[in-house]
Amino acid sequence: MNITWDADLYEKKFDYIRRYGADLVELLDAPAGSAVLDLGCGNGALTEVLRERGYRVMGLDSSPELLAAAQKNHEDIRFLRGDARDFVLDDTVDAVFSNAVFHWIDREDQDKMLNSVFQALKPGGQFVFEFGGHGNNALIHAALEKEFRQFGYEYHIPFYFPTIGEYAGRLERAGFKVTYAILFPRPTELFSDSGMADWIRMFVKTPFLGVTPEDREGIIEGAVERLRYPLEQDGTWYADYVRLRMKAVKE
Ligand code: BEZ
């Protein structure tokens, strides 16, 4: 999926992506000095956390906007432009790390991406990642689907949210041994009065292609009202995130 990101907005309002990703870093137990690729590094915030843990890091992302922000904030880290589905590194690495990226990759491109990761790793290399798992944002997408229908449009969830079983199968077919897997709910506070509307505007792009600007606003307003009861508490919005967190090793 090709998306033009607003790097400023991403940093200011969606900073939880970095904060929640920080404990994922703990799953990596490579020795200090190991070469680690942050796949889909975005603005480089977690690449920096990995570096602080003593790894030799490198970030790869397809978004020129986010890469420019990453390079500006972390001048001495090497950031590369590339596509997670199809990348080749000059040298293999000891670990590949990725947070909140793989749900953006279409189901039919997932195996290609896993093969690229496999090729990028040294034998024994670790692959640690987290992304949206089965049931992620189910309430949000159900509300959007109802509103799209009311306005006469069809809605398709524009993300890939697999179960543990489905993803473990893909990893094993790509040659990995799965050593850790968990699917867990993680309600996530959204930091603004218009938190849910901002979230929808930031992340739900392709379903709105072909929707008129007036209908788009009506759909967002309607979805926000539908979501107020389950996802707003005392003026604070929460998104119904479900994370799939896994670790696998290249045998
Ligand atoms: C996620 O991190 O699960 C996610 C973020 C934005 C859109 C879809 C999923």
According to the model, what pLDDT value does residue 13 have? 60
CA–centroid distance, residue 45 to ligand 1 (Å)? 17
Q: In this predicted structure, which of 32-46, 182-196, 237-251 has the lowest mean pLDDT?
A: 182-196
Q: How far apart are CA 66 and CA 245, in angstroms?
A: 24
- pLDDT higher than threshold 60 for residue 1: no
Instruction: Name 249's bridge partners.
Output: 126, 177
Task: Tell the burial category of 47 from Cβ atoms under 10 Å away from its Cβ (0-12, 13-18, 19+).
Answer: buried
Instruction: Name 93's bridge partners.
Output: 121
pLDDT, tens digit, for every residue of 114-154? 999 999 999 999 999 999 999 999 999 999 999 999 999 99
Position 4 confidence tier, pLDDT thresholds 50, 70, 90: confident
CA angle at residue 142 from 213 to 159, to 5 degrees? 80
Q: How far apart are CA 199 and CA 234, in angstroms?
A: 18
- pLDDT higher than threshold 70 for residue 92: yes
Q: Is 42 in the pocket of ligand 1 (CB under 6 A)?
A: no
pTM of the predicted protein model: 0.93
Q: Is 159 in the pocket of ligand 1 (CB under 6 A)?
A: yes
Atom 2 in ligand 1: which residue has the minimum CA distance?
Answer: 100
Q: Is 20 in the pocket of ligand 1 (CB under 6 A)?
A: no
What is the average pLDDT score of the chain? Answer: 94
According to the model, what pLDDT value does residue 232 have? 95
Closest ligand 1 atom, residue 103 Cα = 9
Candidate of 103, 156, 157 to mutate for ligand 1, largest count of ligand atoms within 8 Å of Cβ = 103
- pLDDT higher than threshold 60 for residue 23: yes
- pLDDT higher than threshold 60 for residue 61: yes
Candidate of 63, 159, 160 to mutate for ligand 1, largest count of ligand atoms within 8 Å of Cβ = 159
CA–centroid distance, residue 103 to ligand 1 (Å)? 7
- pLDDT higher than threshold 90 for residue 192: no
Q: How far apart are CA 226 and CA 146, in angstroms?
A: 9
Q: Is 241 in the pocket of ligand 1 (CB under 6 A)?
A: yes
Between helix 213-231 and helix 138-150 the angle, nearest 10°, is 140
Q: Is 129 in the pocket of ligand 1 (CB under 6 A)?
A: no
Atom 4 in ligand 1: which residue has the minimum CA distance?
Answer: 132
Q: In this predicted structure, which of 52-66, 90-104, 190-204 has the lowest mean pLDDT?
A: 190-204
Atom 7 in ligand 1: which residue has the minimum CA distance?
Answer: 203
Q: Is 226 in the pocket of ligand 1 (CB under 6 A)?
A: no
Q: Is 161 in the pocket of ligand 1 (CB under 6 A)?
A: no
Instruction: Name 96's bridge partners.
Output: 37, 127
Average pLDDT over residues 180-193: 91
Instruction: Name 38's bridge partners.
Output: 59, 97
Burial 77-87 (b: 16+ CB within 10 A, else e): bebeebbbbeb
Average pLDDT over residues 22-36: 95
- pLDDT higher than threshold 90 for residue 58: yes
According to the model, what pLDDT value does residue 194 have? 86
Say what percent of the chain tops pLDDT 70.
92
Closest ligand 1 atom, residue 100 Cα = 2
